[in-house]
Amino acid sequence: MVTGARAEDAPANRLLSLLSAKDYARLRPHLHRIPLEYRQPLYAANKPIEFVYFIETGVGSLVNTMANGQASEVGTIGNEGIVGLPLVLGDDKAPTSVYIQVPGGGLKMTAALFRKELARSPSMQAVMLRYVHALFNQVAQSAACNHYHTLEQRCCRWLLMTHDRMQSNEFLLTQEFLAMMLGVQRTGVSRAAGALQHAGLITYTRGNVEILDRRGLKRRSCECYGVAKREFDRLLNEET
pLDDT of 131-149, one tens digit each? 999 999 999 998 899 889 9
Question: At which of 96, 123, 144 does a domain end?
Answer: 144
CATH number where 210 lies: 1.10.10.10
Within a domain: residue 234? no
Q: Are 48 and 131 in the same domain?
A: yes
Q: Are 12 and 92 in the same domain?
A: yes
Bridging pattern class, strands 97-110 and 41-43: antiparallel
- Segment 72-92, tens digit of pLDDT: 888 899 999 999 999 999 999
17 burial level (CB within 10 Å; 0-12, 13-18, 19+): middle
Using DSSP's 3-state secondary structure scheme, residue 118 falls into helix
pLDDT score, position 105: 96
Among 140, 138, 118, 117, which residue's Cα sits nearest to residue 129?
118
- Segment 21-52, tens digit of pLDDT: 999 999 999 999 999 999 999 999 999 999 99
Higher per-residue pLDDT: 179 or 63: 63
Within a domain: residue 30? yes
Answer whether 54's CB lies under 8 Å from 107's CB: yes
Query: What values do phi and psi take at 225, rounded to 5?
Result: -60, -50
Q: Are 29 and 71 in the same domain?
A: yes
CA distance 23 to 21: 6
| Number of Cβ atoms within 10 Å of the Cβ of 99 | 18
Q: Are 77 and 105 in the same domain?
A: yes
Answer whether 111's CB lies under 8 Å from 82's CB: no
Number of domains into which the chain is organized: 2
The confidence band for 122, taking pLDDT boundaries of 50, 70 and 90, is very high
Within a domain: residue 236? no
Assess whether pLDDT exceeds 70 at residue 63. Answer: yes
Average pLDDT of the chain is 90
Q: Are 125 and 22 in the same domain?
A: yes
Q: Are 132 and 33 in the same domain?
A: yes
